[in-house]
Amino acid sequence: MWWRGLAALGLALSLYALHVERSRARDPRYRPACDLVAVLGSAYLGYILLRVLHDFCLVCITTYVINGALLVLNLLSPRPRPAAKPKGQ
């Protein structure tokens, strides 16, 4: 019955993705929290790999670094300004 938990997790992830898409459509300045969650997950997995397993995986470490770089780039990217309303309205 482990597949029920996996199915529920997939459904929850899909619903969150839908929420992010709709929020971005309403407000272009919206920043989803999934970027931070991905970086925290990568940090946790990196800790397990290096400190608990005492191992090194180039592909894994590269993935963790890319996740961190994407978060930094996302946070530093310029936010779009709201459209100016025409005069007289």
Considering the domain architecture, whether residues 14 and 41 belong to the same structural domain is answered as no
- Is there a domain that residue 18 lies in? yes
Written as six digits, the tokens of 39 are 């970086």
Half-sphere exposure at residue 20, Cβ-oriented, CA atoms within 13 angstroms: 11
Considering the domain architecture, whether residues 10 and 38 belong to the same structural domain is answered as no
Q: Residues with Cβ < 8 Å from 79, sequence gap 6 or more?
A: 28, 29
* Residues 29, 79 contacting (CB under 8 angstroms): yes
Q: 28-79: per-residue pLDDT in tens?
A: 778 777 778 788 889 999 999 999 999 999 999 999 999 889 888 878 877 6
**Number of structural domains found in the chain:** 2
Considering the domain architecture, whether residues 44 and 62 belong to the same structural domain is answered as yes
- Is there a domain that residue 17 lies in? yes
Domain with 25, as residue range(s), is: 1-30
- Is there a domain that residue 5 lies in? yes
